[in-house]
Amino acid sequence: MVHTALLGMVLLAEGGLWARLEPYLNYPGFEAWKFINLAIFVGLLLFILFRKARLGDAFRARREGIKDELERARKERDAALEKLKEVEGRLAALDTEVTAIKERSEREAAAERARIAQSTTEEISKITAQAQRDIENAGKLAKNELRRFAAEQSVNLAEQVIRRNLRPEDDARLINQNIDELGAAR
């Protein structure tokens, strides 16, 4: 209040500041009183807002809230970027893992083919050996059968020849000779 009264006295004094500024203050279209009025209004408004309404504290609290939110958002962004890097690392590892699995499965398939081929070769060898033994056994059996048949046929043929050529006196003589041999053997 005191400031306003002093300002009024300085401005109203004769030959004072008001008298010197009056031609400029009343310039048509410029009208300095509008600017002075605006400055007073803005000053009062700022005084009321910052001193009486405690908007400064509200603005500070809001600024701190915004800072906190920005910090939280930065941390969330950093965490998301870290997760992204982790996922990208997993994806890169996944590609190498898929390649490794393919290579391992190809090696296993080749080893399995080789094992099956080896097993097949061994089985063929076993079957061939068994077939060879069966053929040899069948040949021996056939030879024995043929010998037996030939022996039977020879005996039959000899019997027929003997029956044809054996006379009753020869038969009696052979019987006596066999009886004598049996008697001597005892």
**How far apart are alpha carbons 161 and 59 in whole angstroms?**
146
73-110 pLDDT per residue, tens:
999 999 999 999 998 888 878 878 888 899 999 999 99
In a domain, 61, yes or no: no
Q: Is the pLDDT assigned to residue 171 strictly greater than 90?
A: no
In a domain, 13, yes or no: yes
Q: Which of 34, 32, 53 is closest to 44 using CA atoms?
A: 53
In a domain, 136, yes or no: no
pLDDT value, residue 155: 87
In a domain, 65, yes or no: no
pLDDT value, residue 185: 67
Radius of gyration of the chain (CA): 67
In a domain, 36, yes or no: yes
In a domain, 144, yes or no: no
**How far apart are alpha carbons 46 and 181 in whole angstroms?**
163
Task: Read off the pTM.
Answer: 0.36
In a domain, 152, yes or no: no
21-69 pLDDT per residue, tens:
676 666 666 666 777 888 999 988 888 776 766 766 777 888 899 999 9
In a domain, 10, yes or no: yes
Domain interval for residue 8: 2-53
Identity of the residue numbered 173: R
pLDDT, average across residues 168-175 = 80
| Domains identified in the chain, total number | 1
Share of the chain above pLDDT 70, in %: 81
